[in-house]
Amino acid sequence: MEFDPSIYVLCLSLATHVRVPPPFGQVPPLLDVFIVYFQCFSPFCSLLFGTLALCYRSPTWLLSSASCAWAAFGRPCWPRRGAQRPARPWLTMLHPYAYWFFRRVPGHGGGEVHIERLWPSGLEAPIDVWYEAGASSPSRSQPLRPILLNLHGGAWRGGEARISPQSPIWQTLAAQGFLIVSCEYRRRRGAQWPVQLNDCRAALMWLVREGAAQFHGDLEDLTIAGASAGGHLVALLLAEAVKKQLPLPVTFRAALLFYPALDPADRCRSTVRLPFSCSLLGVRYQMSALEWFFEFFVLKSQRHCWSSAEPLKQLQELRKEQAAAWPPTLVVHGERDGVVPVEHSREFLKTLAELSEEGGVGLRSCDQLLEIPGGRHTFEIVYCDLSDMSYDCTLAWLHQLRSVHKDGSGQG
């Protein structure tokens, strides 16, 4: 029996209208990363599949065309501002992971942003540093540079420090004078939790001890960011920071989390439950599929490691004054994320507000949950209005927060 691609295309086009039950959006055949292309390019897909329907007289292609047309008319269009963002290398418009090939990218006004890989002594993994050309050794008369520490995603087992859907944001901030530090961590075969967290903590301590001084960075203006698995690591480091458990004291100005895995044990019960048990694979009856993935592939079935790997549980155990020290947080999450459900982010921010006694309005006044309409996991990999809207809103939120802080400190 021959494989008919039109059947698979029809399934993908229909999937644009629903959310794949989390976390099955990360496994074939209905991968979120495939569906997002159909979603963002739905007008083109509709025309293409309609043409194929006419050529092959296929009702399947016709249904795919109609489904994509429905998605195109039903999806809101967001204005592409982007005026404050420098031009991206054309290759990165095909896929933001293409930043991996660049050592220099455009800045503002004809300037350049340099991307330099370092491997400081004492660290088990390298780091990437993004900075404006000529800013690696600025004069002491120049103001200190705000810092952003990025922890990349990749299901704790993949990804890379320079491979990030948010790279256009890092390029923009570096062009505006930020020092971007993107840290790598051990994740290959043999990397046993919590080495991933330990490596991120070590990179943060390097930044505090010497990295900030080396690149003229301002530790009083420190933002931390992470996507997916990186958001999970960010939340764990923030919990350590507010509980003053880090080797050196660190205060964060803000946190940027993109579809973060804040509840890998799925205490919110928002992912598929497995209807069977299998001791060989570590599956327990009614176990969350996300919980199983994390326990089997990340914790390597070492269940005693769960206590160090649950951001939501650690947040729930904070005292009031510790929760109040949690920095202002922006969470960007797609409504139709089929890998990490948006309910996890809602519950995390709600819990944070309740602990800070600001639960009456749902979120703390300094926090924001930006839910992307129809957004999938890593939706920014496609260059379209959804990714541009996410970038612009993230930059606007961070700049507004920093300007309010400066005005309140009498510096603005």
The pLDDT, as a whole number, for residue 18 is 95
Spatial neighbors of 108 by CB under 8 A, at least 6 apart, are: 86, 175, 176
Average pLDDT over residues 81-86: 71
Residue 47 predicted with pLDDT over 80:
yes
The pLDDT, as a whole number, for residue 411 is 45
If one counts every other C-beta atom within 10 angstroms of the C-beta of residue 90, the result is 8
Dist CA 112 CA 194 (whole Å): 37
Query: Residues 27, 29, 35, CA angle at the centre, nearest 5°?
Result: 90
Residue 208 predicted with pLDDT over 60:
yes
The residues that bridge with 278 in the sheet, in sequence order, are 283
The pLDDT, as a whole number, for residue 133 is 81
Residue 362 predicted with pLDDT over 80:
no
Q: 235: part of which helix (H) or strand (E)?
A: helix 229-242
For residue 168, CA distances in Å to 1, 17, 182, 228 come to 45, 28, 13, 17
The pLDDT, as a whole number, for residue 241 is 97
The pLDDT, as a whole number, for residue 358 is 63
In eight-state DSSP terms, residue 382 is S
Average pLDDT over residues 62-76: 91
- Only one residue has tokens 């050592």, namely 103
Q: What value does the mean pLDDT of the chain take?
A: 92
Q: How far apart are the first and last CA of the chain?
A: 70
Tell me the three state secondary structure of residue 194.
coil
Measured torsion, CA atoms of residues 129, 246, 343, 356, in degrees rounded to the nearest 10: -120
Q: What would the pLDDT profile of 146-197 be if each residue is shown by its tens digit?
A: 999 999 999 998 899 999 999 999 999 999 999 999 999 998 777 899 999 9
pTM of the model: 0.94
Residue 274 predicted with pLDDT over 80:
yes
Alpha helices in 57-166 (DSSP H): 59-74, 90-94
Bridging pattern class, strands 104-106 and 127-132: unpaired
Spatial neighbors of 110 by CB under 8 A, at least 6 apart, are: none
The pLDDT, as a whole number, for residue 190 is 72
**Percent of the chain surpassing pLDDT 70:** 94
The pLDDT, as a whole number, for residue 412 is 38
Q: 347: part of which helix (H) or strand (E)?
A: helix 342-355
Average pLDDT over residues 354-377: 85
The pLDDT, as a whole number, for residue 142 is 78
In what order do the strands lie in the sheet containing 254-258? Answer: 104-106, 112-118, 127-132, 179-183, 145-151, 217-227, 254-258, 329-334, 368-372
The pLDDT, as a whole number, for residue 4 is 86
Query: Residues 339, 361, 265, CA angle at the centre, nearest 5°?
Result: 30
The pLDDT, as a whole number, for residue 111 is 92
Average pLDDT over residues 220-241: 97
The pLDDT, as a whole number, for residue 75 is 77
Tell me the three state secondary structure of residue 190.
coil
DSSP conformation letters of 21-63:
PTTGGGSSSS-HHHHHHHHHTHHHHHHHHHHHHHHHT-HHHHH
Q: Between 79 and 13, where is the model more confident?
A: 13
The distance between the two most distant Cα atoms of the chain, rounded to a whole number of Å, is 73
- Only one residue has tokens 């612009």, namely 392
Q: Between 406 and 232, where is the model more confident?
A: 232
- Of 19, 17, 55, 56, which is closest to residue 38 (Cα–Cα)? 17
Q: What would the pLDDT profile of 84-125 be if each residue is shown by its tens digit?
A: 789 999 999 999 999 999 999 999 888 999 999 999 999 999
Q: Which of 23-27, 71-75, 131-135, 270-274 has the lowest mean pLDDT?
A: 131-135
Residue 360 predicted with pLDDT over 90:
no
Burial 276-313 (b: 16+ CB within 10 A, else e): eeeeeebbeeebbbbbbbbbeebbeeeeebbeebbbbe
Dist CA 82 CA 112 (whole Å): 18
Residue 392 predicted with pLDDT over 60:
yes
Residue 80: band (very low, low, confident or very high) from pLDDT cuts 50, 70, 90: low
Dist CA 116 CA 103 (whole Å): 7
**Percent of the chain surpassing pLDDT 90:** 85
Bridging pattern class, strands 112-118 and 254-258: unpaired
- Of 394, 395, 247, which is closest to residue 333 (Cα–Cα)? 394
- Of 86, 381, 124, 82, which is closest to residue 228 (Cα–Cα)? 381
Residue 408: band (very low, low, confident or very high) from pLDDT cuts 50, 70, 90: low
The pLDDT, as a whole number, for residue 138 is 55
Residue 298: band (very low, low, confident or very high) from pLDDT cuts 50, 70, 90: very high
What is the separation of C-alpha 97 from the centre of its chain, rounded to a whole number of angstroms?
13
Helix count and strand count (H, E) for the chain = 14, 9
The pLDDT, as a whole number, for residue 137 is 54
Dist CA 27 CA 367 (whole Å): 32
